[in-house]
Amino acid sequence: MPRKYAVVLLAALAGSSLLPTHAQFLGSRSPDEFRDLNTLKPPVGSKVAIIVFEDLACPGCAYAHPLEEQLAKENQVALLRYDFPLPGHIWTFDGAVCARYLQDKVRPELAEEYRSAVFSSQRLIANKDDLHQFTQRWMQQHGQQMPFVIDPGGTLAAKVRSDYNLGMRIHLTSTPTIIVVTQNNYQVVCGTKTLTDPTRLTPVLYAAIAQANATPKALPTQVHKQKQVRSVRN
């Protein structure tokens, strides 16, 4: 196990005698109003995933976006994006449909580039016409022709609505909401009144990876944990 993950895991274990199903990967649990977060899981074949609910006009989402990409790539964990276009942002539902078009009809990597570009250009997009012009120009610059009707059957819009409905079912209220999940556990990084800092993703993700990669069948005793912590410090 890499040292940076081991140190975080041992620190988390030292502060708790048990790790129940919904224990935090790191620190103590903050109160929230989420529901059924244990239904969120990594994709098949993955131990850990970063789950993000985002709105393309949200400044906080734009701030968190490059960190999410960097950590997912560096640590080889799944990054699952869910669109949660806020009702007050008149163009973001259409923006999510455009991103979904690129993801499903072209290639996922280009969709990620498009989302990054939209986040970087939020100040230039105030309405649906601005979005259309931006998307058309961006596609041309990347060797793609924007279809006259980007979602004729409404299937892409249905996927965006499905993402939004999932957010409503878990009682999501703000963006970005970032959650790190394993097969048996989860931790909210940000998306509540008290959890607002997306940079917490770094230590929480490291702790989740350490826990997911831990091999002992039973948790060590408290005495053994203390010896482990001392050995790391030495």
Residues 131/125, Cβ–Cβ less than 8 Å: yes
The range of the structural domain enclosing residue 215 comes to 3-233
Domain count, the chain: 1
pLDDT of residue 2: 61
Instruction: State the pTM of this model.
Output: 0.82
Q: How confident is the prediction along the chain (234 residues), in pLDDT tens digits per residue?
A: 565 555 444 444 444 333 344 568 998 887 788 999 999 999 999 999 999 999 999 999 999 999 999 999 999 999 999 999 999 999 999 999 999 999 999 999 999 999 999 999 999 999 999 999 999 999 999 999 999 999 999 999 999 999 999 999 999 999 999 999 999 999 999 999 999 999 999 999 999 999 999 844 443 444 334 434 333 443
User: What tokens appear for 140 in the block?
Assistant: 């041309």
pLDDT of residue 41: 96
pLDDT of residue 222: 43
- Here the CATH number for the domain that contains residue 73 is 3.40.30.10
Residues 63/85, Cβ–Cβ less than 8 Å: no
